[in-house]
């Protein structure tokens, strides 16, 4: 069994737990501790690594490699120079990220130098094969996290690598688009209501991040993660995912959208405040409308969001409406989550 730390935006830890349940993944987790900004879980190695591919609300995954008392620099040097790095590395340079708290070691700069020196000693005694060095010459460096708290050291390795919120290697972005992880937070909270639904509509869909995340929610991400190159993890099997419900995805926007030719999503160029009632089956409306900042709103924002909700009810007769608005706008709807979207504090509201 291994310990993994699943990092998520602060305040969204419960949403990550809901995603584990929705996808039936909680059954393979032996122990789960909720902390601020993440979950510490105990599970099989392969399962924990594969969570990178299947979780959508988690922003990074770390694997705990070692825990030990450490009160001074010679001890730190000894721990690092004696650790067996080979199962995890394909380069002779790595990066250390150091945090210390309430410990005798407080000088993080000196701690970093100590770790670098200790790693150099290790690698000089355990040179990698030229064929491996050649193959991985220009890829991102492996990161190791060292946390010293109350003189207790934990050494963890990053399993995710660069920009884990990205779902595939190539991506087209639209105007004021939302980060995928956040879109999936909204989706998870909506699915956790356990309503029967057949149609998802985003009436102000922009580049369609929410709809694309909905489409891919039950599918593994089509990209590589850094753990896949570890000698230890090569050729490991991926964990199977539960099959999600079948649903139809519809995006509207008053502007043209990059969504136009997107697989499995119907795009219509329509203003929310125009057009008549849409007779659709078992609808959930979920949207990230303008905030009145980057995308302008020409009237009082409380009025705008109230009018928007009224109009959504009239136009789609949905079972659930979920939408995001800046926290500073005093709305009286049922607030589910608060998070920071590209520097703007926002709330997610659910009306059902």
Binding-site ranges for ligand SAM (CB under 6 A): 174-178, 203-207, 209-210, 252-255, 271-273, 288-290, 295
Instruction: Please say which residue, 98 or 201, places its beta carbon nearer to ligand SAM.
Output: 201
**Shortest separation between residue 295's beta carbon and ligand SAM, angstroms:** 5
Cβ proximity of 320 and 193 under 8 Å: yes
With 0-12 CB in 10 A as exposed, 13-18 as middle and 19+ as buried, what is 298? Answer: exposed
Instruction: Please say which residue, 91 or 209, places its beta carbon nearer to ligand SAM.
Output: 209
**Shortest separation between residue 241's beta carbon and ligand SAM, angstroms:** 24
Residue with token string 């995890």: 88
Instruction: Please say which residue, 11 or 174, places its beta carbon nearer to ligand SAM.
Output: 174
Residue 167, both tokens: 């779902």
Instruction: Please say which residue, 41 or 312, places its beta carbon nearer to ligand SAM.
Output: 312
- The whole-angstrom separation of Cα 139 and Cα 333 is 47
Instruction: Please say which residue, 229 or 252, places its beta carbon nearer to ligand SAM.
Output: 252
Cβ proximity of 253 and 207 under 8 Å: no
**Shortest separation between residue 128's beta carbon and ligand SAM, angstroms:** 42
Give Cβ neighbours of residue 154 (< 8 Å, ≥ 6 apart): 64, 66, 67, 145, 146, 147
Residue 64, both tokens: 């705990």
**Shortest separation between residue 175's beta carbon and ligand SAM, angstroms:** 6
**Shortest separation between residue 180's beta carbon and ligand SAM, angstroms:** 9
Instruction: Please say which residue, 176 or 280, places its beta carbon nearer to ligand SAM.
Output: 176
**E strands along 26-170, which residues?**
31-35, 38-43, 60-69, 94-101, 142-149, 152-158
SS3 call for 38: strand
How many other CB atoms are found less than 10 A from the CB of residue 46?
Answer: 14
**Nearest-CB residue for ligand SAM:** 206
**Shortest separation between residue 45's beta carbon and ligand SAM, angstroms:** 35
């Amino acid at each position: 069994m291994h310990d993994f730390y699943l990092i998520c935006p602060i305040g969204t830890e419960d949403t990550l737990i809901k995603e584990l349940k929705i996808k039936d993944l909680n059954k393979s987790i032996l122990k789960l501790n909720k902390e601020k900004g993440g979950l510490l879980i105990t599970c099989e190695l392969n399962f924990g690594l594969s969570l990178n591919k299947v979780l959508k609300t988690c922003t990074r995954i770390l694997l705990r490699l070692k825990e030990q008392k450490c009160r001074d620099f010679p001890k730190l040097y000894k721990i690092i120079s004696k650790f067996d790095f080979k199962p995890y590395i394909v380069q002779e340079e790595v990066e250390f990220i150091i945090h210390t708290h309430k410990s005798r070691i407080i000088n993080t700069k000196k701690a970093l130098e100590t770790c670098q020196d200790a790693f150099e000693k290790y690698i000089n005694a355990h040179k990698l094969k030229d064929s491996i060095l050649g193959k991985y010459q220009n890829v991102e460096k492996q990161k190791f996290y060292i946390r010293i708290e109350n003189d207790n050291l934990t050494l963890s390795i990053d399993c995710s690598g660069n920009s884990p919120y990205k779902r595939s290697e190539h991506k087209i972005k639209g105007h004021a688009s939302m980060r995928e992880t956040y879109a999936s937070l909204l989706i998870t909270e909506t699915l956790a209501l356990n309503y029967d639904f057949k149609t998802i509509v985003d009436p102000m869909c922009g580049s369609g991040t929410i709809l694309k995340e909905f489409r891919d929610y039950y599918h593994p991400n089509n990209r590589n993660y850094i753990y896949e190159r570890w000698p230890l993890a090569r050729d490991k099997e991926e964990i199977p995912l539960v099959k999600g419900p079948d649903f139809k995805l519809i995006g509207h926007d008053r502007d043209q959208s990059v969504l136009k030719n997107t697989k499995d999503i119907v795009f219509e160029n329509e203003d929310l405040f125009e057009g008549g009632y849409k007779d659709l089956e078992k609808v959930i409306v979920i949207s990230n409308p303008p905030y009145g900042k980057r995308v302008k709103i020409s009237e009082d924002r409380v009025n705008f969001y109230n009018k928007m909700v009224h109009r959504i009810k009239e136009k789609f007769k949905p079972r659930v409406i979920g939408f995001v608005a800046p926290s500073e706008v005093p709305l009286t709807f049922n607030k589910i989550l608060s998070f920071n979207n590209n520097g703007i504090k926002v709330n997610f509201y659910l009306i059902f």
